[in-house]
Amino acid sequence: MKLIQACLLALLGLSLPFYSASANSPSLSNNSQGYAPVESCGQCHQSQQESWRHSDHAWSMQPANNASVLGDFDDVEFDDGSVQASFFQRGDQYWVNIEGKVGPDDFPIAYTFGHYPLQQYLVELPGGRLQALTIAWDTRPVAEGGQRWFSLYPGQSFAPDDPLHWTGRYQNWNAMCADCHSTFLTMNYQPDTDTFATTWQEQNVGCQGCHGPGQGHVEWANTVASEPAAPHSANDMGLLVDFSAMKPSEVVETCAYCHSRRQPLKDGQHAQEAYLDKALPSTLRPDLYHPDGQIQGEVYVYGSFIQSKMSAAGVTCLDCHDPHSGKRLVEGNGLCLQCHNDAPSERFPQLTQKNYDTPEHHHHPAGSPGAQCVNCHMPEQTYMVVDPRRDHSFRIPRPDLTLSTGAPNACNDCHQEKDALWALEALESWYPDTKHPDHFAAALSAFRQAEQDAFGRLAGLIRDRSVPAIARATAAEHLAGFGQSAVSPLRSGLLAKEPLVRAYAAGAFAQVTPDGNEAILLKLLDSDQPRAVRDQAWRALAGADLSGLSEAEQQQIMAFQKDFESRLASLAALPGSRFNYATYLHQAGRLVEASKQYQQALALDPTFTPARVNLATMASEQGDLPLAAETLKVGADRPEIPDADRGHLAYLLALVLVEQGNIPVALRRFEQASELNPDNPRISYNHALVLGQQKRWQDAENVLASALKQHPDDYGLLQAAVYILIEQGQLEKALGYARRMQSLYPDDNYANGVVRDLEAQLP
């Protein structure tokens, strides 16, 4: 059938204009901006180019042709029960037949993406978009389970209007992955039309992706050819990135933009720019890292590496990886033994002189998996179904942290039939002098578990300069949720030496009233601060009264504001970045604009709960309860939204309905919220109080009793139980709950007062 259709199209002289390249198709930029033609470097640097030619960087993106396509397009059918597709060729063109926006259709493959252990394929759609198929080719050998088509979302199917569908926003090349698969890529996103005119300087990650624009160096080389006496210093050679003159941290940060989970700060990045001038790295958030900082989500190395002692000691990526091929310098334990041996390098005099590659150290048979350094100190996590990646925090296994925080440990990663206590006892028997030093995991775990001392632990963590900056930045981000009580520890973060801590401390003040810290935040707008710090400081100051500044200062701030807002708009192609734009406008009091951007974020992804919550909250604050209720109802009734998020939306909807006086429907929404999100005791607290207002005392007691089984120490639930029982005159029963509150919270005035009053009333 496909062959007949192709022949008919050819006879009729027809083409496929809907999927053909358009004026805004991704392409080479017509403004070189100092970048040399891609063929320039190999003329002098042949060995380096040959190493690079087989690297992940070279394969990062290529036109789909016989040399680049590794998948089987020989009329192959794919069907995993949830997604169906067929892969075939028409002459030299590769095609896929798959469900598009309006049903199954044939789509030409425009580009390949990567090469090992999987290769993805890009299809061009209108609006300048390239979209990545969610079916990929497993390039591993057959013996390892490879040479097959597979779904990146096994067992899952997505409707064409779902942002995870291959035509959806989260599979969009321009916004999701392009800037790290090409050299100086610029999205050129138009937020009003939601279209792209994306360009690059090199289609893949070429020499200039790491060494910076090279035209000046090429011109120097041409000069040398005619004038052998030409100067040879880095500056005179036209080199914008001189690795030999860099500090170790600068070398790492040159790689970091693409090898980190981060928020870009502008559209398009040059290698020679400082990392924090073009990105803000993510913190150790619950969806990305375990509480001890081990990798969980797909975080791309940098965030784990900067936690490590190796990072602190000055180790760089190039100590382990060849810069051009990307391969490890040595395979096996020999890589670690370059430094960790009985005669350490003078570069790292703090290292213990010891032979680590022995059973006396690793306590496993020589040559076994347990004897490999990486399996104990760099546990791996598999992403994209077939791609295992190792944690680069180079940690000593800590089963004690598994017991206290739930974080995994390398011992039990292998010995899954054993528990963490077994692993801890084994390590202590091998190393009887081992101590278990304090770890930032305790503070992050306390926050995640909503423990009573979470605030104090985070306040201590942000001030503890002995821990990695990324952990202190995480404390700053979490402290924002504690309101005005967080001002003092956040102020210490504003004054921190490390710019990453300053950035997140400043950003936290967008949720906490600055309360006298405006002068410090204004100082963080100075041009000597990294852009990441300046941006976060301006977020905190949005909407503040700055009329007391001089005219020159106000003009400077207005110029910064204009640049900041322009950058936010240029990056608003994803729901999260559109949400960032909206929250800034909301903070600045520009509510009409903020509402529009929240709604645009939901148009990009109707399941994006933060935008839905903020839009509803803003509508409620403005007295528009119908809009708030409708916004929350749409989310609470969408089954594809995760249960906990949907439960939160149902809870907020119940509160709005109570405010509207629609109690019967509100009570049903409370029930939905409790069922979907039983981990939130606040739902039951408010549910019981509303039932109490309706004099449905027994129902209120039942709600609280059920919630207290799961949250026996929750202050709010105990307080509500005391109130409900007192209202019914059940003073003795109320006293029992009050005494429990008093035992849990001995310094609480309410608990002490109600116990005293009830004891006085009872015989």
**Is there a contact between 615 and 600 (Cβ–Cβ < 8 Å)?**
no
What's the pLDDT at 318? 97
pLDDT for res 12:
29
- Look at the block and give the residue holding tokens 């803000």: 280
Distance CA 54, CA 74 (A): 25
Query: Parallel, antiparallel, or unpaired for β 199-200 and 195-196?
Result: unpaired
CB atoms within 10 A of CB 546: 13
User: What are 123's strand-pairing partners?
Assistant: 109, 131
Cα 16 from Cα 255, distance rounded (Å): 41
**Per-residue tokens: 115:** 């090469």
Q: In terms of Cα–Cα distance, which of 612, 608, 644, 640 is closest to 628? A: 612
Read off the amino acid at residue 366. A
CB 202 within 8 A of CB 215: no
Contact of 113 with 121, CB cutoff 8 Å: yes
In angstroms, how far is CA 678 from the centroid of its own chain? 26
Q: What span, in angstroms and rounded, lies between the C-alpha atoms of 430 and 395?
A: 17
Q: How far is the C-alpha of 570 from the C-alpha of 186, rounded, in Å? A: 10
pLDDT at 1: 33
Spatial CA neighbour of 87 closest among 74, 100, 70, 99:
74
Distance CA 34, CA 217 (A): 10
Look at the block and give the residue holding tokens 């985070």.
Answer: 458
Q: What pLDDT is attached to residue 23?
A: 63
Cβ neighbors of 86 (< 8 A, separation 6 or more) are: 75, 76, 77, 78, 96, 97, 98
Q: Are 605 and 582 in contact (CB under 8 A)?
A: no
Q: The pTM is what?
A: 0.92
Residue with tokens 């198709």: 25
Question: DSSP letters of 518-561?
Answer: HHHHHHTTSTTS-HHHHHHHHHHHTT---TTS-HHHHHHHHHHH
Are 199 and 185 in contact by the 8 Å Cβ rule? The answer is: yes
Q: Are strands 76-79 and 135-138 parallel, antiparallel or unpaired?
A: unpaired
Q: Which amino acid is at 206?
A: G
Round to whole Å and give the CA distance between 475 and 320. Answer: 31
pLDDT digits (tens, 9 = 90+) for 434-482: 889 999 999 999 999 989 899 999 999 999 999 999 999 999 999 999 9
Across 34-47, b (16+ Cβ under 10 Å) vs e yields bbbebebbeeebee
Question: DSSP character for 197?
Answer: -
- Distance in angstroms (rounded) separating the CA atoms of residues 718 and 755: 13
Rounded CA separation 19/641 (Å): 31
Phi and psi at 20, nearest 5°, equal -80, 165
Residue 172 CB contacts under 8 Å (≥ 6 apart), including other chains: 129, 130, 131, 132, 573, 574
> Rounded to an integer, what distance in angstroms lies between the CA atom of residue 498 and that of residue 302?
16
Tokens 């109690």, residue? 663
590-597: list long-range contacts, CB under 8 Å, 24+ apart.
Answer: 591/618, 591/622, 594/618, 595/619, 597/572
Torsion of CA 238, 244, 246, 248, to 10 degrees: 150
Question: Which among 26, 22, 145, 151 is positioned nearest to 98, based on CA atoms?
Answer: 151
Domains and CATH numbers, the chain: 2-209 (no CATH), 246-332+354-415 (no CATH), 439-542 (1.25.10.10), 697-763 (1.25.40.10)
Q: What is the pLDDT of residue 737?
A: 94
Paired tokens of 566:
């322009």
- Report the alpha-carbon distance of residue 97 to residue 87 in Å, rounded: 7
Triad 622, 627, 630: Cα angle to 5°: 150
The span from the CA of 541 to the CA of 123, in Å, is 42
Q: Which of 674, 606, 594 is nearest to 634 (CA)?
A: 606
Cis ω for the linkage preceding 639 (within 30 of 0): no
**Rounded to whole angstroms, how far apart are CA atoms 121 and 119?**
7
Residue 474 · residue 283 · CB < 8 Å: yes
CB-based burial of residue 190 (10 Å sphere; 0-12 exposed, 13-18 middle, 19+ buried)? middle
Which contiguous run of DSSP H or E holds residue 96?
A: strand 93-100
- Which two three-digit tokens encode residue 678? 């039983």
Query: Residue 332 class from Cβ within 10 Å (0-12 exposed, 13-18 middle, 19+ buried)?
Result: middle
383 by DSSP, 3-state: which? strand
The residue among 564, 615, 611 whose CA lies nearest residue 592 is 615
* pLDDT at residue 763, as a whole number: 82
Amino acid residing at 744: L
Beta bridge partners of 705: none
CB-based burial label for 7 (10 Å; 0-12, 13-18, 19+): exposed
Residues 6 or more apart whose CB falls under 8 angstroms from that of 357 comprise 333, 337, 371, 373
Are 377 and 395 a contacting pair, CB within 8 Å?
yes
Q: ∠ CA 298-304-305 to the nearest 5 degrees?
A: 130
Contacts of 588 (CB under 8 A, 6+ apart): 542, 543
Query: Pick from 692, 749, 694, 703: which is nearest to 726 by CA?
Result: 692
- Token readout for 743 is 């035992």
pLDDT along the chain (763 residues), means of 10: 31 34 82 95 95 97 98 97 96 97 96 98 97 98 98 95 96 97 98 97 97 95 77 77 94 97 97 98 97 97 97 97 97 96 91 93 96 97 97 97 97 97 96 92 95 95 97 98 95 97 97 90 96 97 89 93 97 97 96 96 96 96 95 96 96 97 97 95 96 96 95 94 94 94 93 93 87
Q: Is the dihedral of CA 311, 312, 316, 320 positive or negative?
A: negative
